[in-house]
Every structure is written in structure tokens, then in C-alpha cells.
Structure 1
Amino acid sequence: MPTVKVVKRDLERLVNISLSDRTVEEKFPMMGVEVERIFEEVKDGRKEKVIQFSVNPNRPDYLSVEGLARGFRGFIGIEVGMPRYQIYPSDVEVFVERVSSRPYCAFAIVKNLNIDSYLLESLIDLQEKLHWTIGRDRRKVAIGIHDLDKITPPFYYKEVSGDELKFEPLGWDREMTPKEILEKHEKGIKYRHLVPEDRYPIILDRDGNVLSMPPIINGNLTKVTTETRNLLIDVTGTEIHSVESTLNIILCALADRGGNIHSVKLNIKKEGGEYYSKVYPDLTPQTYEVSVDLVNERLGLNLNPGEIINTLRKGRMEGEYNYNRNSITVQVPPYRVDILQEVDLIEEIAINYGYDRFTGTLPEVFTVGEKHPLEKKLEYVRSIMIGHGFYEVVNLTLSNEEVLFKRMDMEVDKKEYVEVLKPASIEHRVVRTWILPLLLETLYINKVNELPQKIFEVGDVVVVDEEGNCRNITKLAFVITHPSTNFNEVKSYGESVMRELNIEYKLENYNHPSFIPGRCVKIVDLGDNKIIGYFGEINPQVILNFQLEYPVVGFEMEIR
């Protein structure tokens, strides 16, 4: 989960009360935010007490100290109900042309900010956290925050060629073309895969000054410092809801710091050349309805409508009772992008009612638990592998396309695997479909250790069948690496395991892109004539992709 470090002094200032360490450790977990540690850190030459929180990815509004303070004020009853944010008009306009790689954008202005070191650090951290979560490491959303007083409206969002203009990118002291930035700047090298090779998104002001080259880098000209008082915020991306949600989260955080939100008019160019207008931001609350009976049924409580509304107000929402339908109409603030349906509101009611107030009940029937037969079998498999001299490893079930497929020299359609909607990090966004890639990654991490290395893992993977349904499958996988390992070695261990498990099988030649042709076989279960696994010598290119130096053999089989 994403972690957020906040200075305790700053949190207390925003909450407007003094907080003991014990209060922090007891109260924040009750509102769904784990406290990982409280420690001292030197900031600006003085010691500060710092709190490190672990935030659920479904609460991006908690990725800043402002959001945490806002939620905490409601949770403990200091300030309940929905915050109201006023939007002041402005005459600032943005002319938006067609940008094929990032077609959606939203802009807003925040004025009269007192940007001290606390706010500056929080703003930069929030920007990066939103890039990782909602933005999918800038692939879906990219954010630009600029010193408004250094540029002149109107602004222009359009595409340019690689050598059409020059500007000074953030962190550099010389001008570069967009093409040079992708080739030489660290951010350009890291994110160049997000833009086309010939046309680059760019944001300019009236005088041709470059504000940003989304999603790569901002310009040095508009760098925000503690001297900045007025901000222009741009959010660009590939999905309009994510763009608008990201903008709203940032604006509400800055408004909580005393900033005044001002609107920006977008003049968006149609395909025919005409323009239509849209004004940002839109901070209109979302409206949902929740059934009183369903709330009590799901939570095992007997709350009346007034009590339910009070819990919603502690969650910084508003509720109105509908007598005829025995339901509550709920207004949700614009930064709560995690509320999607009725069950999300029920969870919010449970949190603000207080998990510590729920009481347990003993089951009516006395039962004695025992291990599932499959788990007993897996324990036996582990003992077999340990007896053969293997070390067990346990990897996460979440990984990414780079490790699972690209490094394994496999081309896989997106329909063949499950991708996490809101991943905690870009490295953990795909549910693994097989285990071998993660074992090779483990070998890479341990390549400094002596050889031979023999490791195995027993765990679940998720596959998508021909009908599009997802299924959990339990597998055994192992790898061996040393200078003389070969097919015979992996075959001897693999057949030993299958004999111990009383599996009747046959081996057939198998052409797998991750293995050397002619040195890989599939395992066919004679009971139902289905393929249950494969093993062989790993392809040298795959070995190089994982930066390994010696031959590797691998085995993977379904345990049923």
C-alpha cells in the first residue's frame, strides 16, 4: 500500500488540536489508515516528529496530510458534514487542440496560498503519489503544478514535433528540444514509452513559454517555490474521469490550506475545426441512495435513520432521509472518488460507527476445524522439495507485464490475464498467471550468493479461461541454476515429485517461447489427458533478460 510521511506539527496545525502519539496510534487505524511508525527526522535544520501512514489505494484523498487531517476532523467529531469549496470565476482560457496520445485535460487556478516548506513538500509528495495510484505511473494521468505569476494566459495544449521548440526542463540549466529530453533527461528516458515518437504533447503560454511536456517533465520557468503564491494546475491523461478526479483531490487539499479556487475555461477544438467550451473545476457533490434496511442487515446493527446520517456526517458527507422509501439520499464530496455504489456507503457507515463498537457472537453449532485436503497435499509437496535440497521462497501474487511476459519472451493478449484496477504501485498491477518468472527474479536478487541455487514455490496463480472466467490454480514451480545444470537434472527432480504424488503421466515435446526449442516437454495427466505442467532448459535470451549468468532449468506443474 502507498505510504505517506507527514510532519506531526503540520498535522496538528491542520487538525487544530494537539495529538499525542497514543491518540495517533489508536484513532487513525479505526478510520482505515494504518500507522506504520512514528520517528524523528531532521527537517530544515531542526528535529521534527514524523508519522508514516499506510493508506489503502482506494482512498487517494488520504495521500496527503491535508486529506488525512480533513478525514480525522470528521472522524473524531471536530468538524462534521461535507466541506464546501467555493469556486471564483476567472478570465483565464486554455485552447485545447487534438492530442492523440493524451486527449483529455483539465485546468484550474489556486490563489493566495502561503506556501511554506510543509505545504511544498506535501504538494510534491501528493503529486507523485497520485501519479503512481490513479495515474498508473503517469500512463493514465499526469499532473503539472506551475507558478502562475511567471506565465501569461491564454494557454495552449497541443502537439509539436521533436525539434519544433526548446525549453529548459525541470532540474536542468540548459534548453532542450522534446526529442533531446526523451534521449538525455532522466525523466524523458523513464517515460518516453508514454508518448509517440513523432508528436509530443506540450502546454504553452501566450508568449510561447513552455509550462509542461506531459507526461514527461515540467519546465524550469514555472517551478514552484516557497515564494509562489498563485498556482496553475494542469492534469492530462487518457481517461476523463481519472483526470477530473485527480484535479479535484489536489484542489480540495490546497483549499484546506487556505487557497482560493478559480475556474479556467477550456476551448476544445472539434474535428471540424470549431471550438466548444468547458469550465473546470466541477466540484459538484455526487448523489447516491442507501437503504436503511440494507445497512442494518449487512452490519448486523439496528441503527435508525438519524444515527446513520450522523455516521455519514462524520465521514464528511451529508444525508437526507426518504420516509416513503426508508432510504437515505447521500451527498458525497468531490474528492471521494472511491464511492461507487451502495456497499461503499455501508462500509463508510461501519467505519464511522466504530469497528471497536461491534460485538461478536458465538456460533450456534460447535465444530472442529481441520486442514483442507489440498493444504495437506501441499505440505507434503513442500516436504518433498525440501528433502531434495531446495529452499522455499514466497513471492507476491501481484507482479507486472515486464516480469511475467516480456522478460520471458512471451507475447500475451491483455484478455489472458487480470490487471488490478487501482494498484498500490506500478510493479504490482497484474495478478500472476505462472510462477517461474518470479523465481527467475528471485535468482537475480540472489545472484551474488554461491552456486548451485535450488529454489521452489508452492502458490496460487489466476488464469482466464476461454469463456473469460477467472480461475485460481495452485502450482508447484522450481528452478535450478549452476554452470552444468541441464534437462536431465530437472527431469529427475520433476519425475521424483510426480512419483511421490502418484501421478500417472506421459511427457511430450513442447514448444514454449521461454524454453530452448527441443529441450522442453509438457506433462500430460493420463487420468483426464490434460496438460498439467511443463519443464525444461530456460532459453538463454530469457536468462539474459533477468541478468543471470549461468544456465537455468525450470519446472512448473498444477497441483490438484
Structure 2
Amino acid sequence: MPTVNVKKYDLERLVNMPLEDEFIEKTFPMMGIEVENIYEEEGEKIIQFSVNPNRPDYLSSEGLARGFRGFIGIEKGLPKYEVEDSDVKLYSTNKSRPYIALAVVKGIIIDDYVLENLINFQEKLHWVMGRDRKKVAIGIHDFDKVKPPFYYRDVKGDEVKFIPLNSDEEMTPKEILEKHEKGIKYRHLIKDSFPLLEDSEGNILSMPPIINSNLTKVTTETRNLLIDVTGTDKWAVEKTLNIIVTALAERKYAKIHSVEVIYENEKIKYPNLKEEVVEVSPDYINKILGTNLTPGAILNYLRKARMDAQFIENKFKVFVPPYRVDIFGEIDIAEEVAICYGYDKFKGLYPEIATIGSLHPLEKRCDFIRDIMIGLGFYEVINLMLSNEEVLFKNMRLDIKDYIEVLKPASIEHKIVRPFLLPIIMETVRINQHKELPIKIFEIGECINIKDNKIVETKNIAGAIVSNETNFNEIKSYVEALLRELKLTYKIEEYEHPSFIKGRCAKILVDNEEIGYFGEIHPEVLENFEIEFPVTAFEVILK
């Protein structure tokens, strides 16, 4: 989970009351925020919080203070944020990272506390909302140093120059990717063109998702901010902007102003801070929580969670603030009530019938297989069951139409239930390929498929080897070692699979039934996953 370091003085002035360390350590965990440490550094008391990734609005001292004020009851209900109209416009023709949302925040007083928090907040959101800038990238600029309207477009890598942030050398976009620290780190996110954000006078504000311009660097002298959020996921872009501007609006004197984004066929005014609505009955909440709360009590707890609600015909119409990205349905509202009711008030019950549990035979077999794989020198990884079309199918050169899709996914990156493990293993390789070679990993987990209009659940094992020397014979030897330890009578036959090199792939047959395959991963698959080394892999359905 991401950690947030907050200066105690800054938190106290945001909640407008002194806070004892003991009170902080007792109260914040009841909100679902762990207090990892409270320590002194250079005469300042610092609180280190551990925040669940589903609450990115808690990644700043402003968001933590807002939630805290509601939880202890000194400021209840839905926060109201006014957005003043402005004549600021942006014209977008960018195709590589097609979505952009902007806002202006005026009148904010930026001292050292605010500046440090703003920088840390930006980086935490890059990780939580942006998947390390792949999905969302954020730019925060000194608005007074540029002149609207703004333009968001793609350019070639050598047609313009600007000074990147924290540098004194003017560079082209291509040179930034080759020389600048951030350019080297994030150049894999740039494909064929270079996104640029510039003002009416040709001044470059940023090259998303790599680096801002030094021209618009924010300092303690800055009073008016321009926030831009760019990316490949419209929902994530818009929500990230909402999280930032509503947090800044918690600061004294800060006022939010709109920006109109003009696409070729569409105009959108940002930010959109309209609350979302979720309907839920008190009966449902009481059934889920095992409580007997009155509608009035439930309404009070919802207001402590910084929401509002109307109670009509035995149903709550709950208004969710625009910075919340984790509320999708009734169960989420019930969780908010539980938090504000107090987890310490729930009492555990012993079951009426005493039972003695034991592992399912298949789970015992999986434990045995784990021991085999670890003995063969593999490391186990554990991934989520949810992924997306790009990872599961497109990157693997597969054309699959029948799969299980989540109706209301929390993220576009996690909307399909995996039908097999190997694509997730490849994504794990992509993330960890900078580790020392060879890399040998495996995973055992559930997979869901559709066969003959029926849902079929299987337990699979998949593994991969990343090495300059790995080949078909190496992966074959490991697969056969596994099959022998499992005492299976098997046959191996040549096999063609889109994800593997032709002639370097085989299938595994047990009782003339195909249970798996292995081989050398196709170069196009490696390119799709941005993997720079040869990979061999296998997947087997466990009986």
C-alpha cells in the first residue's frame, strides 16, 4: 500500500485543532488508514500513513484532513466546491494519449508545506491512478507564466526545443528521452509521436507523460495553478483531476476555475464536480452489517463519511462526492456506514455447529506442486484474477470472443476474468525484467472459461523463464520434471499456438486429452509486452 508522510503541523492547521499523537494513532485506523510511524525530523513531527489504493483522495494531507473532520463529527456532509467559469480554452488534436482534462486553481497560498505535499501527491497519484504514468500523467504549472488558449498536439521528436524541469539545457523531445533522468525512465511510454502541451505564444508547458517544462515550475511565489491530466483512460483522467482540485480547494483562499477542452467533434468543460448518486435501502445495509440501525442513524453515518442522502419511500438516495473513485454500488455504501458506525462495535459470534476444516484434495496437490516448482528454482508470484483485453488477448496474438467481463469494473485495467494464466505471467515479466537474469517464475490459480455456454472453472499452473540462453529444450525439461513428479502418463506432440514460435511449441496430452502447452514465446508477443529478452513458458491445467 502507498505511504504518505504528512507534517503534523500542516495536518493540524487543516483540521483546525491540535492533535495528540495518541489520538491520531487511535482514530485514523478506525477510518481505514494505518498509522505506520510518528517521528521527528529536523525539529518537525511527521506522521507516516499507509493508505489503501482504492482511496487516492487520502494521498494528500488535505484529503486526510477532510475525511478526519467528517469522521470525528466536526464537519459533516457533502463538501461543496464551486467552479467559477473562465474563458480559458484548450484545443486538442493529440491521438497518442487522446484524453486531457484541465482546471485552474487561483489564489492558493503555497508555502513549503503545501509545495512539498503537492509534489508528493502528484507522484502518489501517478502510481495509484496512473499505473506509473502509463494510464494517467499529471502536470502542475504556474498559470501566470503562460498565456491561454492552450494546444495539445503530437509532434515529431526534433522539431521543437524546451528546457525540461530541473534542467538548464534546452532539449528536443528525442534528446529528453536519451539524456534526461525522467526521459530515460519513462521513454517506453512514448511510441511514434511526442505529445506536447503549449500555450498561445508557443511556450511549451509539458511533454506528457514524461516531464514538465522548467518555464512553469511551481514555487512558493506561485499563486495561480494550471493542472493538466492526460492519459489513455477518460474516466481515470477526469477523476484524477477531480481528486487534485478538490484537495487544493481545501486550502485557504483557493478557488477552482473551469477550462474548456475543444476536440475535433466535441467540447467538454472541466472539472465536472457533480456528485454521483447511489440508491440503497436501510434494510439492505442492516442485513449486510447485521445491525438494526434506524434511517436517521444511517443518515448520520453517511454524513460523517462526507456524503449526503435523501430518504424517500424506504430508500436512501446517496450523493457521493466527486473525488471518490471507490463507490460503485450498494455494498460500498454499506461499508461506509460500517466504518463510521465503528468496526470496534461489531461483536463476533461463534458458529452454532463446531466443525473441523481441512484442505481440499486439489489444494493439497497444489501445495505439493509449489514445493516441486520451488525445488526446480522457480519463484511463485500471485496476481489478480482480473485483467483486460490488451494483456489477455491482443498482446498474446489471440482472437478470443467468449470471456467473462465485469459489469461495473473499478478500473478499465481490471474488467475481464482471466481464462488462463500465461498473459498475466508475461505482464509480471514485463514489470520485473530489470531484475537479475535468469528470471524463473510460476503461478497457480483459478481461471474461468466459457464452454458450450457454461462456465468452467479450472486450476492452472503457468511458468516462464527469462534468459538470453533459454530455449525450447530447457522449458521442456522443466515441464517433464513436473509431470514426472505428478506421476502422470503423458505424451508430447508438436503444436501451433499464436503466442509461440512456430515449430518451437508443443502440447501435453494425458489420456489423449490436451492439458497444456509449452515453448518459446513469439517475438511479436515479446514486443507487445515490451520485453527485451527471450522467454520460454508453459501452462498446464491441473486435474
TM-score class normalised by the smaller sequence? 0.7 to 0.9
Please give the per-residue CA displacement for 1:101-156, whole angstroms capped at 9, x wherever unaligned: 33433322212222122211211122122222323333333222111222233333
**In the alignment, is the contact (CA less than 8 A) between 2:245 and 2:256 conserved in 1?**
no
Residue 210 of structure 1: aligned partner: 204
Q: 1:334 Cα deviation (Å)?
A: 1.6
Alignment CA distance shift 1:301-1:196 (3 Å): same
User: Is 1:507 equivalent to 2:502 in the alignment?
Assistant: no
Deviations 1:513-535 (A, max 9, x none): 88787665422110xx3222345
Q: Is the 8 A contact 1:433 1:462 kept in 2?
A: yes
* Alignment match, 1:287: 277
The aligned counterpart of 1:315 is 305
Distance 2:120 2:162 in 1: 25
The answer to whether the 8 Å contact 1:405/1:411 transfers is: no
Please say if residues 421 and 460 of structure 2, whose CA atoms lie closer than 8 Å, have aligned partners that are also in contact.
no
Deviates more, 1:223-232 or 1:129-138: 129-138
Change (3 A) 1:558 1:20: farther
Shift of 1:225: 0.9
| 1:343-392 deviation line (CA, Å, top 9, x unaligned) | 22111111111111112222233322122111222344455667xx5456
Instruction: Look up the equivalent residue of 1:355 and give its one-letter code.
Output: Y
- When normalised by structure 1's length, the TM-score is 0.80
Q: Secondary structure at the match of 1:256?
A: coil
Matched, 1:260 2:243: no
Q: Secondary structure at the match of 1:251?
A: helix
How far did 1:484 drift?
A: 11
Equivalents in 2 of 1:307, 1:357: separation in Å? 14
Residue 29 of structure 2 corresponds to: 29
Q: Which residue of 1 aligns with 2:224?
A: 230
Counterpart for residue 302 of structure 1: 292
**How many residues are matched?**
532
Write out per-residue CA displacement over residues 284-336 of structure 1, whole angstroms, 9 at most, x where no aligned residue.
222332211111112111111100000001101112221xx201222222212
Aligned to 1:357: 345
Instruction: Determine the structure 1 residue equivalent to 2:37.
Output: 38
For the residue of structure 2 that corresponds to 1:338, the secondary structure is coil
Counterpart residue identity of residue 143, structure 2:
L
What's the counterpart of residue 369 of structure 1?
Answer: 357
Q: Name the residue aligned to 1:523.
A: 508
Residue identity matched to 2:9: R
The answer on whether the counterparts of 1:34 and 1:54 sit within 8 Å (CA) in structure 2 is: yes
Pairs within 5 Å for 1:6-85: 6-35=6-35, 37-40=36-39, 42=41, 46-85=42-81
Task: Tell me the equivalent position of 1:326.
Answer: 314
Aligned 1:48-127 pairs, distance under 5 A? 48-90=44-86, 92-127=87-122
Provide closer, same or farther for how the CA distance between residues 419 and 445 of structure 1 changes in structure 2, counting only shifts above 3 A. farther
8 A Cα contact 1:289 1:329, kept in partner: yes
- Contact 1:87/1:260 (8 A) holds in 2: no
Larger Rg: 1
User: TM-score with structure 2 length normalisation?
Assistant: 0.82
Question: How far apart are residue 256 of structure 1 and its match?
Answer: 1.0
Higher alpha-carbon deviation: 531-540 or 296-305:
531-540
Shift of 1:20: 3.7
Decide whether aligned partners of structure 1 residues 440 and 268 sit closer, same or farther in structure 2, where only a CA change above 3 A counts.
closer
Aligned counterpart, 1:130: 125
Measure the CA separation in 2 of the matches of 1:47 and 1:431: 54
Q: CA 1:57 to 1:466, structure 2 compared with 1: closer, same or farther past 3 Å?
A: farther
Moved more, 536-545 or 49-58: 536-545
Residue deviations 1:187-219 (CA, integer Å, cap 9, x gap): 344444545635x43333333222222333211
Corresponding residue SS for 1:146: strand
Q: Which residue pairs with 1:3 in the alignment?
A: 3
Mapped partners of 2:230, 2:432: distance in 1:
37
Distance verdict in 2 for CA 1:442–1:239, change over 3 Å: closer
Cα distance in 2, alignment partners of residues 254 and 306 from structure 1: 32
Within the candidate set 147, 156, 160, 1:152 is matched to: 147
In the TM superposition, 1:410-429 aligns within 5 A as 411-412=397-398
C-alpha contact 1:505 1:525 (8 A) present in aligned 2: yes
Q: Contact 2:425–2:443 (CA<8 Å) still a contact in 1?
A: no
Specify which of 336, 339, 352 is matched with residue 348 of structure 1. 336
Q: Check whether the contact 1:7–1:51 (CA below 8 A) recurs between aligned residues.
A: yes
CA contact (8 A) 2:84 2:256 kept: yes
C-alpha change, 1:184 and 1:303, in structure 2 (3 Å) is same
In the alignment, does 2:232 pair up with 1:242? no
Q: For the Cα contact (< 8 Å) 1:5–1:52, is it kept in 2? A: yes
Where 2:101 maps in the other structure, the secondary structure is strand
CA RMSD after TM alignment: 4.3
1:378-427: CA deviation from partner (whole Å, max 9, x where unpaired): 344455667xx5456332325999xx899xx954569799999668999x
Mapped to 2, the partners of 1:133 and 1:264 lie a distance apart of 25
Q: What residue number does 1:171 align with?
A: 166
